[in-house]
Amino acid sequence: MKTELLDGGSRQSIEKAAEILKNGGLVAIPTETVYGLAANAFDKEAVVKIFKAKGRPVDNPLIVHICRFEELYKLVKSVPQKAKELAEKYWPGPLTIILPKADTVPDEVSPGLTTVAVRFPSHPVARAIIDAAGVPLAAPSANSSGLPSPTTAKHVMDDMNGKIEAVVDGGACDVGIESTVVTLAAEVPRLLRPGGITLEQLEAVLGHVEVDPAVLSELKEGERPASPGMKYKHYSPKAEVYIVNGSLPSFKYQLDSDPREGDAALCFDGEENGLSVPCLSFGREDRSSEQAHSLFDDLRKFDEMGARRVFVRAPSADGVGLGVYNRLLRAAAFKILNPPVIYGLTGQSGAGKTTVAAELKKKGYLIIDGDVLARKAVGDPEVLKNLAAEFGEDVISTDGTLVRSLVAKRAFASEQKRQRLNEITHPAITKLTLQEIRNNFEPYMKGAVIDAAAIFDCELPKYCTKMIVVTADEAVRAERIMKRDGIDRETAMHRINAQKNEQYYIERADIVIRNNKNENLADQLSEL
Ligand code: TXA
Ligand code: MG
């Protein structure tokens, strides 16, 4: 069959689409939520064709679309007051209401059920087509079963070309996720699928609305959902999708601690440049409606990119975000990752970082000694080779180890040389540190702490949700250094003066811990 692409902006196309529908054919139509695959709801044979074209499980009921409120009376047994109030407030719009079905609606629309789902879309092209067809239209989302719902005519063509009579192009769908589905056929109104009309908006009309457990959790083996569509895998690109909880630095850790070929990320606007894998952004972090609008398009794009694993920043599940989160849970088949929260711990020499680290360890944090890892990183053969090429073969001693003093001397001769040293060593230090966290972090731990004197010189702060800086008065620091290293005051002061001053650290800190003599460290750390 040749699938015709019709322009939703022309009257002729609307007439043509209506003609096909009246004759028992299938037409994909734009709505404000997603594209629907429509057939005359009263024509059994046409309805059956929808299931075939989509490869849809036969027990998954369809939504019937109308273009006037009064048409609801032809589809349901009776219209309760609450349905009238809902319709008054949110129709036309992204809301589907389930009510006991009238006998005139063929069983094929709601196989095995005594109810029917009805929606009055707001999209002008959808309304014009329903009106011109003169019958209510049964229409599920116009994707192949299991794939993300289509939000452009191109998406529909990708899935349905050759399987249906026509696709009407009405541009990109505004909402981007399917309608909110609420049932009024139960004793208490129940939200079966979250969408563009929020739970709060429903409750403003209905009072208490129960949220079906299938909205946020996986059905157990053999469990029967209130909405049959909930039990199927959905919205999935070919890639494995993972939802990643936590902050942007934890997300970066997730991506970089175990990188693999074909990794990609779905992030919030403005985060793309800081990530090390190909990424798409799906809207601003605090704008659920933007995320809804672009989610399905992005999920399809990952397939075009050939992504194998897609890591997704977890959206907030409030308002329209509940719908976004619900679709992502299904796209991810409920795979949710909780990477550790990482903190950086640093400060001037003698400030007492080690004491603070010990305190954090007692509180249940994994402590990573960054200074030890920095030394280990320069033992890496690749790093050694690059250092010899940059600073001279003689920086490698006869036993193959690095002559650190020689590298230091040459590197500190010029700013440019110092930068080269960092370029060679920092990627190795970062890699080793992330590996160390990955190998040692246990789920029962509260977080991971990277304890490193020179942390602000390297890339590691990008993985840290917060930076903890430990400070102490100069006199106290001098005493500690003298005692620790067995040196005199003059040498200790010389060292202190060679370091960055306290201000430098404080400016970069999220949390400052005072560690003179009698301060209570545990109290100061309770902020974590
Ligand atoms: O926004 C939308 O609702 C789009 C556009 C095209 O209107 N349509 C849509 O249809 O998303 P579909 O078939 O992909 O999703 C319909 C959902 C399914 O989860 C189905 O199980 C549920 O609604 N549903 C339909 N009739 C039902 C009924 N009588 N009882 C319980 N759930 C029902
Ligand atoms: Mg669907």
Residues of the chain falling short of pLDDT 70: 231-234
Nearest CA to ligand 1 atom 15: 140
Which amino acid, one-letter code, is at 357? A
- pLDDT of res. 31: 98
- pLDDT of res. 219: 81
402-436 per-residue burial string, b: 16 or more CB within 10 A, e: under 16: beeebbeebbeeeeeeeebbeebbbebbbbbbbeb
Nearest ligand, CA of residue 151? 1
Nearest ligand, CA of residue 63? 1
What is the DSSP-derived secondary structure letter of residue 240? E
30-41 per-residue burial string, b: 16 or more CB within 10 A, e: under 16: bbbbbbbbbbbb
Per-residue pLDDT tens over the stretch 161-194: 999 999 999 999 999 999 999 999 999 999 999 9
Q: How far apart are CA 484 and CA 351, in angstroms?
A: 12
Q: Pocket of ligand 1, candidates 51, 77, 141: which has the most ligand atoms within 8 Å of its Cβ, to mutate?
A: 141
Is any ligand 1 atom within 6 A of the Cβ of residue 117?
Answer: yes
The position carrying tokens 């796209």 is 331
Is any ligand 1 atom within 6 A of the Cβ of residue 480?
Answer: no
Q: How far apart are CA 161 and CA 2, in angstroms?
A: 7
Is any ligand 1 atom within 6 A of the Cβ of residue 180?
Answer: no
Q: Pocket of ligand 1, candidates 178, 233, 234, 326: which has the most ligand atoms within 8 Å of its Cβ, to mutate?
A: 178
Nearest CA to ligand 1 atom 31: 227
Quick one: which atom of ligand 1 is closest to the CA of 116?
29
Phi, psi of 100 (to 5 degrees): -60, 135
Q: Pocket of ligand 1, candidates 47, 50, 181, 182: which has the most ligand atoms within 8 Å of its Cβ, to mutate?
A: 181
Q: How far apart are CA 515 and CA 358, in angstroms?
A: 13
Nearest CA to ligand 1 atom 12: 140
205, 89 Cβ separation under 8 angstroms: yes
Quick one: which atom of ligand 1 is closest to the CA of 60?
21
Residue ranges of alpha helices (H) inside 64-166 are 72-75, 81-90, 124-133, 153-160
The position carrying tokens 């409920």 is 334
How much distance in Å is there from the Cα of 123 to the middle of ligand 1?
17
Nearest ligand, CA of residue 178? 1
Q: How far apart are CA 459 and CA 456, in angstroms?
A: 8
Q: Pocket of ligand 1, candidates 26, 47, 67, 96: which has the most ligand atoms within 8 Å of its Cβ, to mutate?
A: 96
How much distance in Å is there from the Cα of 20 to the middle of ligand 1?
23
Q: How far apart are CA 304 and CA 302, in angstroms?
A: 5
- pLDDT of res. 412: 85
Structure tokens at 405: 């003093």
pTM of the model as a whole: 0.93
Quick one: which atom of ligand 1 is closest to the CA of 181?
23
- pLDDT of res. 232: 65
Within 13 Å, how many C-alpha atoms sit on residue 244's CB side?
Answer: 24
Quick one: which atom of ligand 1 is closest to the CA of 228?
21
- pLDDT of res. 233: 64
